[in-house]
Structure 1
Amino acid sequence: MGFKLSHLYAPPDVNPVTLKARSIPVLNPVDIYGRVFFFSWFGFMIAFWAWYTFPPLVANSNIVSLCATLLVRLVAGPLCDQFGPRNVFGGLLLVGSIPLGLAPLVHDARGIYVSRFFIGILGGSFVPCQVWSTGFFDKNVVGTANALTGGFGNAGGGITYFIMPAVYDALAGLGYLPGQAWRLTFLVPLGMVISTGIALILLCPDTPTGRWSDRHLHAQREPLNLDAHHAPSNFDLETSIGTNTEKANSIVDVPGRITDRPDPIETSKNKKQLLPRSSPDDANDDDSNSDKQDDKSSAIAITIPITLEPSNTINYNTHPTATPNHPAATVPAPSTAAAKETIQPPTARELARVALSPQTAFHVLTYACSFGAELAVNSVLAAFYAARFPGTLSQTGAADWAAAFGFLNVVARPLGGIVSDLLYKHFSSSLGRENEEGMVLWWKKGWVVLCGLVTGALLVVIGAINPGKEGLVFALVALMAVFLEAGNGANFSLVPHVHPRANGVLSGLTGAGGNLGGVLFAVVFRCMDDGTDYAKGFWVIGVVTLVVNLGVCWIPPLPKA
């Protein structure tokens, strides 16, 4: 399914098995999928804005929040799997608003750092943002969706550097003293964080199928969903219970063995549907029913009351679904589709399995190099520019050029996800079996590694050569930023495929890895001649990035199980 301009605003086609959208209605927040997409990136952007409220006002306070955010991301992943990403997302925004609202009450440096630490809770909202987006968009666009929500959200860090000083200047112009003005500026992000947290909880669903607690029911009644959309399935309802599936409360003769008892499936309306288990003998039951009735020792005809919901009572949000000629119509059997992608409550055994898998190590280490390097470089870039060109570049000019590094996230991170999805579409023409998906995902994984290698090489070039021309330095940093931030998007394009039943756990571990990398690389900059040799710091981080990506490139994209 190629891109069309209407995909930006029209209700998307949905996968009939998982009910995930196969396009992204970016410009249609009224649609359920467009609404979730909007609140995913907007909520994360507001959280990022509030997370960075201190740096423009109080220097060197942002590093304190990285440790807090790391811990929150580790916890947020399992919480998403247990309670749903929407609830965790809204909860983090509302809980994070408390220290944000109390920040103006501090009166000394210690209070500022304590407040900044707890405001770091808001940085953990990245995890539910990605898990929520993954739950609403199908595999053909999930990389783009995650990259867009992450990239747009990261722009909140750049917005902070413009909005907070502007609000401060406006309040100072109204006659407020500096000590009063900087405290009052917190009212703006505080109001946005609270209102956004409440809005996404009230206006958005947990999953495309309804409430988080009912997500398993959709997988159970998937055979009826497939039949309603004429999609192939291992469950042939027309053969088993007759062709009239829209007649409710009917009496149906179901041939079969006495041991083939139907399975009751409880629907959300508390109605019971009875589906016979298929067996190799069922295909010829209609032709040999009379003969089997004579041999009562081996088989009987079972007459049972069966309640079938008409197909038009299932709410698909009026979105087009698969047809026999649509690619979405070719879907796996229920046991390998919706059930496989249904997130399970985390257990200690599952947490250990995911945390210790080589695939998790790949994502954590590569994201530590990409997002970790982004955090560290962003924190020193203005100082690097000012120190490298002291005679020609003012402090304000250096800060403006450094801000461009963060704003490239709006383009570069989505680019990483888009390229990843294009590779997936191009090489998945024969997608069907698990091992074939693993082969296709090598291309997604290769794109992650390529971004890491190019980033590492450019960091080494910037640090080793340390060019003396402003234009050349700006160009090299911008090119490095494109591959660095594209690597972030590419990483979370692959994450949804790896452990789909524990997507929150893997997302939390990967996100925490990014924060850990930010802390470690910040230490690298501080250790280079007491934090003054920025070029050497670039060189060291580049070498680490190259070594890590080469060291994990052999890991298969999917676990063997």
Structure 2
Amino acid sequence: MKEQQQPLTRLRIFSFKGIQMRTFHITWITFFFCFFGWFGVAPLMPLVREQLGLSKSEIGNIIIASVSATILARLLIGKMCDTLGPRISYTVLLVAGAIPVMLIGLSDSYETFLLLRFLIGIVGASFVITQFHTSMMFAPNVIGTANAVTGGWGNLGGGVTNLVMPLIAAGFAGMGLISEQDSWRLAMVVPGCILLIMAWIYYRYTQDTPQGNLKDIVSDVSGRPKKKGSFLVALKDYRVWALTLAYAACFGIEITVDNVAATFFMDRFDTGIIMAGAMASVFGGMNLFARALGGIVSDHVGRIHGMKGKGILLGILLLLEGIGIGLFAASNTLLLAIITMLLFALFLKMANGCTYGIVPFINKENIGSVSGIVGAGGNIGAMLVGFLFKAEHLSYADAFQYIGVGVFAVGVLVLFARFQPRTVKKGAAEIALDVQN
């Protein structure tokens, strides 16, 4: 088989040659812009809050709604990847997600805003396709690194969004196209249009696997379609649920911070909206390298200590993340808050990369389903901690303290989970199902 039809054994980060690297770059760029649609309105919430007269409890409901739809969407999109392939799945998702993104600017009440914010959450399922598609294009020895880089560079969009969207809104207001109070409405049209453009690019310039699109691939000379995995098999694997819990404690917290960071800095340290967005963008900016670092370290540990070593690494990262969040919550100056935020962001994003350095090896025939279940776990975590931020008797700092304790507890559980490969008998030999090399 020609090299261009095989998964790559090396990640040539600056190369666009071949369908594997072209898909790699289009995938992370698409995921990057998905954050503009998914969280574009988050740094603009102070404007929305003032115009629609939202209470703290209502803002908490909006935070929960923004990640709730993603739970079901990630489960469905994971199965779609296994059946329709990532190319068609991503195209459909981008077109469907662009609609509520552009329509949210028409909201004239808490109820309509809440509904559209909920529907926008389906865009978050883009992560599952990103990880699935990367897993199709790279060999086992670099899957963890490749997944971490596409996930990390894509997640970088969460930080850039916090910085750019207030500037877009301010730009429209400065040009006299709309009032400052309504500027958030027009600003949200921009990410909606970008999602439609990326849908066309994804459909036109990627394919499902190095061998071709899923519908064209057959398993043998008889021409019968390639066998697809079972979603129920993935659900029955305890390791899938251990990773789901871990991802709730890392990525679930990440998207929560993406949602509340700008408002937190404004309320606690009395910054302006643009400054608050810039401070929040620092957190997302860590994805430039931190998630990739987690994947690289995970691959290295895996080559030496196997899946057991990867599991222990993930548990340690979660423990350190929990400690860092506790320090962030206790910070009483802006400088200290930024320093401690960078600290827990490093471990959190490395844990993200480490989690998806394990996912592709859990069940090779159900990568999409496993990715969807674990990815949904991230949003379940975000939804649950969202209730802390809507509680009237808790400050945002109090909420972060509780989150730190919870993440530490999850780290303890994951540290003692067993991620060793399962084996099956084949004659007199035992064959490991999760071999990496």
Q: Alpha-carbon deviation of 1:423?
A: 2.0
1:25-36 matches, within 5 Å, as 25-36=12-23
- The answer to whether the Cα contact below 8 Å between 1:343 and 1:501 also exists between their aligned partners in 2 is no
1:304-319 matches, within 5 Å, as none
Q: Alpha-carbon deviation of 1:31?
A: 2.4
1:422-501 matches, within 5 Å, as 422-425=300-303, 427=304, 440-463=306-329, 466-501=330-365
- The answer to whether the Cα contact below 8 Å between 1:369 and 1:545 also exists between their aligned partners in 2 is yes
Relative to structure 1, is the Cα distance of residues 205 and 381 closer, same or farther in structure 2, using a 3 angstrom cutoff? closer
Question: Comparing 537-546 with 378-387, which one deviates more in the overlay?
Answer: 378-387
Amino acid aligned to 2:210: P
Are residues 1:367 and 2:354 paired?
A: no
Amino acid aligned to 2:254: E
Q: CA separation in 2, counterparts of 1:141 and 1:155?
A: 21
Relative to structure 1, is the Cα distance of residues 388 and 177 closer, same or farther in structure 2, using a 3 angstrom cutoff? closer
Equivalent residue, structure 1, for 2:405: 543
Root-mean-square deviation (CA, aligned residues, Å) is 2.6
Relative to structure 1, is the Cα distance of residues 453 and 14 closer, same or farther in structure 2, using a 3 angstrom cutoff? farther
Equivalent residue, structure 1, for 2:201: 199
TM-score by length of 2: 0.85
Are residues 1:377 and 2:265 paired?
A: no
Relative to structure 1, is the Cα distance of residues 399 and 343 closer, same or farther in structure 2, using a 3 angstrom cutoff? farther
What whole-Å deviation, never above 9, does each CA across 1:265-310 have from its counterpart, x for those lacking one? Answer: 2479xxxxxxxxxxxxxxxxxxxxxxxxxxxxxxxxxxxxxxxxxx
Amino acid aligned to 1:375: I
Q: Alpha-carbon deviation of 1:32?
A: 1.3
Q: CA separation in 2, counterparts of 1:343 and 1:457?
A: 47
1:147-546 matches, within 5 Å, as 147-178=148-179, 181-217=183-219, 220=220, 265-266=221-222, 344-346=227-229, 350-386=230-266, 388-389=268-269, 396-425=274-303, 427=304, 440-463=306-329, 466-527=330-391, 530-532=393-395, 534-546=396-408
Amino acid aligned to 2:200: I
Q: CA separation in 1, counterparts of 2:242 and 2:194?
A: 36
Relative to structure 1, is the Cα distance of residues 176 and 461 closer, same or farther in structure 2, using a 3 angstrom cutoff? closer
Asked which structure has the greater RCO (Cα within 8 Å, sep 6+), the reply is: 2
What whole-Å deviation, never above 9, does each CA across 1:403-458 have from its counterpart, x for those lacking one? Answer: 21111122211111111122234x1xxxxxxxxxxx61112222211111111222
What whole-Å deviation, never above 9, does each CA across 1:1-46 have from its counterpart, x for those lacking one? Answer: xxxxxxxxxxxx959xx81101123322342111100111011111
Q: CA separation in 2, counterparts of 1:177 and 1:535?
A: 35
Q: CA separation in 2, counterparts of 1:386 and 1:187?
A: 25
Q: CA separation in 1, counterparts of 2:214 and 2:321?
A: 39
Larger radius of gyration: 1
What whole-Å deviation, never above 9, does each CA across 1:65-117 have from its counterpart, x for those lacking one? Answer: 21111110111111111111121111100111222333344433322222222
Q: Alpha-carbon deviation of 1:384?
A: 4.2
- The answer to whether the Cα contact below 8 Å between 2:31 and 2:127 also exists between their aligned partners in 1 is yes
Equivalent residue, structure 2, for 1:284: none
What whole-Å deviation, never above 9, does each CA across 1:133-190 have from its counterpart, x for those lacking one? Answer: 0100111111111111111111222222333333323322332232775443334222
Greater helix fraction, Structure 1 or Structure 2: 2
TM-score by length of 1: 0.67
Q: CA separation in 1, counterparts of 2:138 and 2:394?
A: 44
Q: CA separation in 2, counterparts of 1:55 and 1:388?
A: 17
Q: Alpha-carbon deviation of 1:345?
A: 2.6
What SS does the corresponding residue of 1:56 show, helix, strand or coil?
helix
What SS does the corresponding residue of 1:144 show, helix, strand or coil?
helix
Equivalent residue, structure 1, for 2:56: none
Percent of aligned pairs with the same residue? 32
Q: CA separation in 2, counterparts of 1:548 and 1:35?
A: 37
1:30-179 matches, within 5 Å, as 30-57=17-44, 58-59=48-49, 60=59, 61-178=62-179
Q: CA separation in 1, counterparts of 2:384 and 2:110?
A: 24
What SS does the corresponding residue of 2:176 show, helix, strand or coil?
coil
Amino acid aligned to 1:353: V
Q: CA separation in 2, counterparts of 1:484 and 1:476?
A: 12
- The answer to whether the Cα contact below 8 Å between 1:344 and 1:502 also exists between their aligned partners in 2 is no
Question: Comparing 373-382 with 69-78, which one deviates more in the overlay?
Answer: 373-382
What whole-Å deviation, never above 9, does each CA across 1:48-74 have from its counterpart, x for those lacking one? Answer: 111122223334445422111111011
Amino acid aligned to 1:550: V
Relative to structure 1, is the Cα distance of residues 510 and 454 closer, same or farther in structure 2, using a 3 angstrom cutoff? same
